[in-house]
Amino acid sequence: MLGRTLAPYLEEKGHTVIRHGHSNIVDIVCDLTDRLATESMLKSTLPDCVVNLVAATNVDECERDPHKAYLLNVLSVENLVSELGKRKKTFLVQISTDQLYDSQGENGEDNVCLKNTYALSKYAGELAALRMQASVLRTNFFGPSKHPIRKSFSDWVIDNFRAEKAFTGFTDVNVSPILMNTLSKVIDMVICQKTSGIFNVGSRNGMSKAEFAEAIAYTFGLSSSCMRKGRAIDVALEARRPNGMSMSCSKFERTFGILLPNLIDEIKLLRSLSNGGI
pLDDT tens across 24-77, in order? Answer: 789 999 999 999 999 999 999 999 999 999 999 999 999 999 999 999 999 999
pLDDT tens across 232-271, in order? Answer: 989 888 899 999 999 999 999 999 999 999 999 999 999 9
pTM of the model: 0.95
Exposure string for 240-273, b = 16+ CB within 10 A, e = fewer? ebbbbbbbbbebbbeebeeebbebbebbebbeeb
Confirm if 228 and 168 have CB atoms less than 8 A apart. Answer: yes
**Phi then psi dihedrals of residue 199, to 5 deg:** -135, 135
Q: Which of 70, 84, 192, 177 is CA-nearest to residue 130?
A: 84
In the chain, domain spans: 3-148+177-206+244-261
| 3-class SS of residue 16 | coil
The pLDDT confidence band at residue 23, using thresholds 50, 70 and 90, is: confident
pLDDT tens across 2-17, in order? Answer: 999 999 999 999 999 9
The CATH number of 3-148+177-206+244-261, from 3.80.30.20, 3.40.50.720, 1.20.210.10, 3.10.110.10, is 3.40.50.720
